[in-house]
Chains A and B, each alone.
Chain A
């Protein structure tokens, strides 16, 4: 019993890490641009598929393939902002939201056209699991790396936002864009950074997700639904909240299904049930602000 518990907690932490990598971008984008980037999940798929192209189809080693895939995903993320979201930046947030939904469907269709509907694997190679604690815990190399990467990236992001001038400027613009202008802060630059960072994180999530599961055109939707729930759970716009919400959902899924409390067919519903409970108890989210933010 305790053996399986350790394994389930580990699986939950890994899933939570991957959700968090997606949720962080969502929450940052919402914070600065005030809309939900519905196509953010598709950036996960772009990261995974481009990695597969470099690593499996072109036989590049893992590291260069990963770097190339991350780079391409970042460029695409920044371009999407410049081409589709920047022109409607001063409009009602409903407009970028609708554009994002359109982009999400469009990118899914594109992946379907290019790679077909079949499930693909990210690598031909299969990796041995490591065994810890006298076999109580089995962890694949990609699980271990995903968890370590996620934690390092979270700490890095936290330090970036709190300590660097650019990070503070991003928080400032998120907090009050028009006042940012009167002190010479560039909204364009901060937007570019946020979409770039968001894409970087999703690309990494996509690569690890590809190792953990398989590639399919809708893979972005599955994880982004969990990430949406995590973000709202933690309080949208909050970085700490997104991280906390992600691990909560990851652990809840793993434990509830693993211990047989919820049938595995209902896994997809778990984030929503948690979300609904949360909204009933504390609608502002776990890390919601008590004071009213002066957003403009």
Chain B
């Protein structure tokens, strides 16, 4: 088990509980997707793993290490990276500077240089844009910058919050192909998606989150053919929040 979330109850500062006793598991080299309606708390799960919420109960284990109360900085250093939902880049910085900031927690300059090379190899398009302000890029290009920033950390675990949001169907396929590629190179991926059918079809397993509670889980195939999932989530292809 590379990431295990047990009985997590969490919220924001002094607000109410958003997640109630939720459990998720991510095994090595898996792609796991969390689906659910808007406001269910999907992003809150990822942010909790990253130390950005108020965790009230439960624990988060990465490998054999309890990371529940670590700072974001330490969580990153433990090998987890997150691509946030929506506005997930530094628009006033160039593409290359964005990648460098992705690697902010790395100390060695040589390492940052090498990682940059790797990311440019993985997203060749970014290389030709390296000196451009990322704010002027298209949605798909911005998502590549955002994923590239996370890849700068060569994470063991990659958290992706709605990587397909706002993208054209063709670009979504490109992004999902890249996600599979990242998994094939050894990372484990926990992803939140609104585009349930496409996401589940590349996922090993999936979870349905409703009103901050686990509602359903199973293999990607099983959820894809589940009548309840079909009725509630597969009819709403490409819906944006």
* Contact surface of A with B, Cβ cutoff 8 Å: 165, 168-169, 171-172, 174-176, 178-186, 289, 291-294, 296
B-side interface residues toward A, CB under 8 Å? 50, 52, 72-73, 76-77, 82, 84, 87-93, 97-98, 100-102, 104-105, 133, 135-136, 149
Would you call A293 and B91 a contact (CB within 8 A)?
yes
Q: Give the residue name and chain of the A residue nearest to B103 (CB).
A: A183
- 9 pairs of residues in contact across A and B, judged by CB atoms under 8 Å: A171-B92, A171-B97, A172-B98, A175-B93, A179-B90, A184-B73, A184-B77, A291-B136, A293-B135
- On chain B, the residues within 8 Å of A292 by CB distance are 135
Contact A168 B91 (CB under 8 A): no
Complex interface: chain B residues within 8 A of A169 (CB): 101, 104
CB contacts (< 8 Å) of B135 on chain A: these are: 289, 291-294
Q: Are A182 and B82 in contact (CB under 8 A)?
A: yes
Question: Given the complex of chains A and B, what is the CA–CA distance between A181 and B104 in angstroms?
Answer: 11
Given contact pairs A171-B92, A174-B92, A179 touches B104 in the complex (Cβ within 8 A): no
Q: Are A184 and B87 in contact (CB under 8 A)?
A: no
- Chain A residues whose C-beta falls within 8 Å of the C-beta of B105 in the assembled complex: 183-184
- CB within 8 Å for A182 and B136 given contacts A172-B90, A175-B92: no
How far does the Cβ of A174 sit from chain B's closest Cβ, in whole Å? 7
A294 proximity list for chain B (CB < 8 A): 87, 89, 91, 135
Question: Given A171-B93, A291-B135: A182 and B52 within 8 A (CB)?
Answer: yes
State whether B90 touches A182 (Cβ < 8 A). no
Contact A293 B76, beta carbon cutoff 8 Å = no
Beyond A168-B101, A184-B73: 11 further Cβ-contacts under 8 Å? A165-B104, A171-B92, A178-B87, A179-B88, A182-B84, A183-B101, A183-B104, A184-B104, A184-B105, A289-B92, A294-B89
Complex formed: what's the CA distance from A183 to B89 in Å? 11
Cα–Cα, bound, A53→B40 (Å): 61
* From B52, B135, B136, residue with most partner A Cβ within 10 Å: B135
A186 and B87 alpha carbons, distance in the complex (Å): 18
Chain A residue nearest to B105 in the complex (CB): A184
